[in-house]
Amino acid sequence: MIWDTQPLRFAPGVVATWLPFGGLVLVAADTLAIAEFGESDAVAIQALLLGRKVASHNLRAVADRLIAEGWLLSITQ
């Protein structure tokens, strides 16, 4: 699936660490919550941050989940 999106951004207090093998770890500074992502999801998250298309990935589901969990915000928020 290819889906166009407006760029998103990390929520305030979220620190991202891009891992050398292609994964991603997010840490919420206020709660110390951690979210870990493999290479495929990390690529999708990078696409969401840049407002790009990614084939074969359900960006809407990833974006909806990360926004609902407080990791990402729309660029206008």
Domain-located, residue 67 = yes
Domain-located, residue 19 = yes
Domain-located, residue 45 = yes
Domain-located, residue 29 = yes
Specify the number of domains making up the chain.
Answer: 1
Residue-wise pLDDT for 36-47, tens only, equals: 999 988 988 998
The model's pTM? 0.81
What is the domain range of residue 34?
8-74
Cα separation of 68 and 53, whole Å? 21
Domain-located, residue 68 = yes
E strand intervals along the chain: 8-10, 14-18, 24-28, 34-37, 72-74
Residue-wise pLDDT for 17-64, tens only, equals: 999 988 999 999 999 999 999 998 898 899 888 887 766 567 778 888
Domain-located, residue 40 = yes
